[in-house]
């Protein structure tokens, strides 16, 4: 049981724990310096790997969502518009409509914040682990029109349906 750090790192990679394999020397030094127990050391390894995986998954979900910009609902100003109340916005943020698999359609004249709200709700969903695909109505119509003969449209609509 006398393995070198490089051999252990290779075993971590074979187990598909690549992030831990890279961080292993630092984790070992920190464990020695702080006199961690075996349980504390294992907890740090698993915690590190899980945190890195979640960060990568979040990054992947954000890329797939294709948001034109990132604006949180915390920055949305309800003052000056009379369509949506603070209570209604809070209910939308709970995402119960999403968990119940309801569609949400935002209608209204230009400039009232439909895109902003859609992106804000999409960001909330991404942070909670949902797959999101952002498309404007024009993009959606174009995708539906070209689905039959463009592979790109087929792929995008597949992602849209899975989200």
DSSP H or E run through 59: helix 38-65
**pLDDT score at 2:** 60
pLDDT, the chain, mean = 87
Three-state SS for 67-106 is CCCCCCHHHCCCCCCCCCCHHHHHHHHCCHHHHCCCCCCC
Tens digits of residue pLDDT in 49-73: 999 999 999 999 999 899 999 888 8
Tens digits of residue pLDDT in 76-88: 877 767 777 888 8
User: What's this model's pTM, rounded to 2 decimal places?
Assistant: 0.74
pLDDT exceeds cutoff 60 at 136: yes
């Amino acid at each position: 049981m006398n393995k070198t750090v490089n051999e252990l790192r290779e075993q971590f990679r074979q187990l598909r724990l690549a992030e831990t394999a890279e961080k292993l020397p630092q984790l070992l030094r920190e464990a020695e310096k702080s006199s961690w127990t075996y349980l504390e050391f294992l907890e740090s390894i698993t915690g590190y790997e899980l945190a890195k995986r979640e960060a990568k998954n979040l990054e992947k979900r954000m890329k797939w969502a294709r948001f034109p910009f990132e604006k949180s609902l915390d920055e949305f100003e309800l003052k000056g518009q009379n369509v949506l109340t603070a209570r209604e916005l809070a209910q939308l943020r709970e995402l119960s409509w999403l968990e119940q698999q309801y569609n949400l359609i935002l209608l209204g004249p230009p400039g009232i914040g439909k895109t902003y709200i859609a992106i804000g709700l999409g960001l909330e969903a991404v942070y909670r682990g949902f797959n999101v695909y952002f498309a404007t109505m024009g993009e959606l119509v174009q995708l539906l029109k070209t689905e039959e003969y463009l592979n790109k449209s087929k792929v995008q609509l597949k992602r849209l349906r899975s989200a």
